[in-house]
Amino acid sequence: MPIALLVLALSSFAIGTTEFVIMGLLPEVASDLAVSIPQAGWLVTGYALAVAIGAPIMAVSTSRLKRRTALISLMGFFIIGNLLCAISPNYWVLMVARIVTALCHGAFFGIGSVVAANLVTPDRKASAVALMFTGLTLANVLGVPLGTAIGQAYGWRSTFAIVTVIGIVTIVGLIAVLPKDSQEQQGSLRSEIAALRNARLWLALSTTVFFAASMFALFTYIAPLLRDVTGLTPDGVTWTLFLIGLGLTIGNLVGGKLADWKLGPTLAVMFGLIALTSIAFSITMRSLIPTEITLFLWAMATFAAVPALQVGVVRFGKNAPNLVSTINIGAFNTGNALGAWAGGMVIDAGFEMTRVPLAAALMALLGLGATALTYLSTEEQPDPALAE
């Protein structure tokens, strides 16, 4: 794999850390800013909605830029947003800072995944995308646990200050090693918009929405669940987040291989496993060892679906690879917001916190239905070559 893929993976590590670390720090943020846990959860929802809305806007705004230039510019937004997070004096400034950070997210992953796929031969495209997204999973293995521990020890703002530094290192790496052949124009915006008329593409995007909703209905509130129900200490939460991140990483790498084989069956099986492990967690979360085992299996199943989701939408929108990849990231964050809202509603409605994973299971079952509609009547093709 080209070294440029490692730089793209580092970029996704930085972006993934800033997106997910807020979940491990939710109690600290809520306490420091004098808001409730569900109100703090809106920082997750706000970020996700900003990605969902901002992704197509940023895709259009950068459509005249060459891919290399676009990626470097978007990383600049990321650095500014995290710096604002680090110096935020109150809840609303932090919300604005999260929105600024989110503006780069969707377009970066969308354009970056196309660049990553074009760095390798057609039969390794899903694996290349998976490698780029390994940075996202490593963010959960290393970035989120370490960021949580640092935030608990030195204040949550210190975590975002460190992520800002990582962003600076990343943009230097992009400038230094991103190949010049990724400097080509992204293509005609008009032709890409025309490619969005494919109805099956929108079905594929719906699978991404339900996938993310199933993940974040549970993951957004993982720290309060582990503290208040399982009875873990802050250090215990950190180590559990590390275990979850390990499962996400393994699942992502396995999912890349499976997606290179069969897209539809891979997604169907993973949605089923996500539903089963979410239901299991609602039962096991009161005991430490069963909790750790269940969350590890849940994490593996969850991110094993990611490469198939990304490659799948490009399969149905192959004439608009930049735009559909970016919209897919927006769809992911639409689901993120939906899931965070659904989990928060369960808590606000007065149900026991053990019911939160059941909301995640329901979203996974909806994703299974969307997968059946998307792929059931579609003959499996050899892994599609992403358009240049």
Predicted confidence (pLDDT) per residue in 101-160, tens digit: 888 887 888 788 778 877 777 667 767 777 887 787 788 778 888 898 899 899 999 999
Check residue 106 and give its pLDDT: 78
Ramachandran region, residue 350 (left: φ > 0; alpha: ψ -120 to 50; beta: rest): left
Check residue 380 and give its pLDDT: 45
Residue 107 lies in a domain: yes
**What is d(CA 319, CA 381) in angstroms, rounded to the nearest whole number?**
16
Check residue 357 and give its pLDDT: 93
Q: What domain range includes position 66?
A: 3-375
Residue 224's CATH number: 1.20.1250.20
Residue 293 lies in a domain: yes
Residue 336 lies in a domain: yes
Residue 259 lies in a domain: yes
Residue 360 lies in a domain: yes
Residue 386 lies in a domain: no
The alpha carbon dihedral of 280, 286, 289, 292 has a sign of positive
Residue 383 lies in a domain: no
**What is d(CA 66, CA 32) in angstroms, rounded to the nearest whole number?**
42
How many domains is the chain partitioned into structurally?
1
- Looking at the DSSP assignment, which residues form a beta bridge with residue 335? none
**What is d(CA 376, CA 379) in angstroms, rounded to the nearest whole number?**
8
Give pLDDT < 50 ranges for the chain. 379-388
Segment 152-159 long-range contacts (CB within 8 Å, at least 24 positions apart): 152/25, 152/28, 152/234, 152/238, 155/28, 155/32, 156/25, 156/28, 156/29, 156/32, 157/85, 157/86, 157/87, 157/88, 158/86, 159/21, 159/25
Residue 381 lies in a domain: no
